[in-house]
Structure 1
Amino acid sequence: MSTQALAEQGLTSALLPEEIEFPPFNYKMIWHQRQNKPAEHQWFRSLVLRELMALAQK
């Protein structure tokens, strides 16, 4: 997500120092069933999934 897109959403991001090593782990997304349909929740889940998939390809 671009810096401009983040700013438009009122979000910021920060890079982690390269010296930090993280062990591999699995991601899981969970939410209450009543949050399946709201468009804003669907948008956010798709955003998180897209960003994680992009990171996995690097």
Structure 2
Amino acid sequence: MLSWAALFFIVALVAAVFGFGGIAGAAAGIAKILFVIFLVLFALSLIGSVMSGRRPPIP
């Protein structure tokens, strides 16, 4: 999920350099949404891991 957000951020930067304002704005908006979703899922995973009390397996 974070890689998709980074990809859309890079697309937004490239589009902004070439002057495509609408595309850059849309790609930046998608990157922001994906980043927020990633943060929420990470926080939920972290809370779930702490609440379960189990340690991760050691490889």
Q: Same fold (TM over 0.5)?
A: no
The structure with more radius of gyration: 2
Q: TM-score, normalization: structure 2?
A: 0.40
Q: Which has the higher helix share?
A: 2
Higher relative contact order (CA 8 A, sep 6+): 2
